[in-house]
Amino acid sequence: MARPPFARRAFTLIELLVVITVIAILIGLLFPAFRGVQDQAKRTQAKNDVTQLVTAVNAFYTEYGKYPIATTDSALAATARADLMYTLRAVANGANSSNAVNTRQIVFLSPPDAKDQTTSRSGIKTSDGQWYDPWANPYNVEINGSYDNGIPNPYTADTGAGPATLTQGVIAWSLGSDGVLGSNGAYKDNNNVQCDDVISWQ
C-alpha cells in the first residue's frame, strides 16, 4: 500500500536521544575551552587595570610633586586604598574631602562603578570606595612613601616576581581567582608554575 503524498517520517525516540547526547558531548568538550578564554579575559582586564592604576599614581606625582597619600613602603590598608581612589578620581570624600589632596580636581583615573554592588567585580564599590578586580578582590597597591625609589616586593625574592626590592615608585597587583597572595607567598612555586596573581611590574 502506497504512503499518502504528504506523510513525513518523524524522528524516533532513539534518534532524538542520540542527537541530544551528541550535543551534550560537544558542549562538554567546548566548556573547558570557553572557561579558559573567560579566565584569560579576566587576567587581561586585571593587567590593564593595575597598569592604569600605577600610571595614574605616577601622573599625580608628576602633577603635584608628591604621592596622593602619605604612606610607608608597604601595601595600603583598605581605608588608604579608598582614599587613594577618591583622590585619583577627584571625588571629595575620605582624605580628599573638600578636595584637600587633589586641589586642582584633576581626574587621573576613571574606573566604572561595579555593576553589582553586593558582590563587586570589575569596578568601584561605592560603599567602601575601593576598586575591585574581576574576581571581586580589591586591587592592592604599594607606594614608595620614603621617596627612595625602592619598594619591598610583596612576593618572596627569586620567584619570578623580580628582586626583593623593586626600583619603582608604585606597584599594584590583583590576588587572582583564589584571593591569596601567590603560592605560599611566592609568585612561582618550586616547579616554576606561576600563581594566578596579576602584577603591574612585569
| Strand segments (E) across 1-147 | 123-124, 131-132, 140-143
Identify the pLDDT of residue 5: 60
**What's this model's pTM, rounded to 2 decimal places?**
0.82
C-alpha torsion 75→81→87→91, nearest 10: 180
pLDDT of residue 4: 60
Which residues of the chain carry a pLDDT beneath 70? 1-8
> According to the model, what pLDDT value does residue 92 have?
95
Q: What is the pLDDT of residue 138?
A: 96
| pLDDT tens-digit series, residues 127-164 | 999 999 999 999 999 999 999 989 999 998 778 899 99
- Cα angle value 138/142/147 (rounded, 5°): 155
Q: What is the pLDDT of residue 8?
A: 63
What is the reported pLDDT for 126?
A: 92
Query: So what's the pLDDT on residue 136?
Result: 94
pLDDT value for 73? 84
